[in-house]
């Protein structure tokens, strides 16, 4: 519909999916934009109680089919309209994380 010259951007946040749901998508050959092999370091949708801070089980994610679209770039930001990428990756304090990805369709 958009062709190979028009990128598509996806923004996601507060999806609250469990890590086992992420694994089910990956088993079906979808790729996670933010792929980390250690469940405890996946990008969380929120940070749990400090007593459980060693692992985040609820995550935000964007899955895509690499046979249909090509990932161009991706990133994440806290709930601030003008924060830099560095700030988004290093400053904690909000329970809202937004993630994004740009794609092109394969020819």
pLDDT in tens, 79-98: 554 555 556 556 554 455 66
CA dihedral for 63, 17, 28, 32, sign (positive or negative):
positive
Contact residues for 91 (Cβ-Cβ < 8 A; gap 6+): 78, 83
pLDDT at 105: 85
Q: How far apart are CA 74 and CA 57, in angstroms?
A: 22
Q: Is the pLDDT of residue 34 over 60?
A: yes
Domain membership of residue 67 (yes or no) is yes
51's CB contacts (< 8 A; 6+ apart) are none
Residue with tokens 């405890």: 40
Give a yes or no: residue 28 inside a domain.
yes
Distance CA 2, CA 78 (A): 30
Condensed to tens digits (0 to 9), the pLDDT of residues 57-81 reads 555 677 788 888 888 877 766 555 4
Give domain status of residue 54, yes or no: yes
Number of domains forming the structure of the chain: 1
According to the model, what pLDDT value does residue 106 have?
80
Residue 61 lies in a domain: yes
Considering the chain, what percentage of its residues have pLDDT values greater than 70?
Answer: 30
In a domain, 3, yes or no: no
In this predicted structure, what is the pLDDT of residue 81? 47
Would you call 42 exposed, middle or buried from its count of C-beta atoms within 10 A (0-12, 13-18, 19+)? buried
Q: Could you tell me if residue 12 is inside a domain?
A: yes
Distance (Å, rounded) from C-alpha 24 to C-alpha 8?
24
Residue 68: domain span: 8-105
More confident residue, 102 or 18: 102
């Amino acid at each position: 519909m958009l062709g190979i010259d028009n990128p598509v951007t996806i923004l996601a946040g507060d999806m609250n999916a469990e890590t086992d749901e992420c694994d089910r998508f990956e088993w079906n050959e979808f790729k996670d934009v933010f792929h980390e092999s250690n469940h405890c370091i996946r990008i969380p949708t929120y940070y749990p109680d400090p007593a459980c801070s060693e692992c985040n089980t609820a995550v935000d994610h964007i899955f895509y089919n690499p046979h249909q679209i090509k990932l161009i770039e991706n990133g994440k930001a806290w709930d601030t309209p003008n924060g830099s990428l560095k700030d988004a990756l290093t400053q904690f304090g909000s329970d809202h994380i937004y993630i994004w990805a740009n794609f092109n369709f394969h020819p």
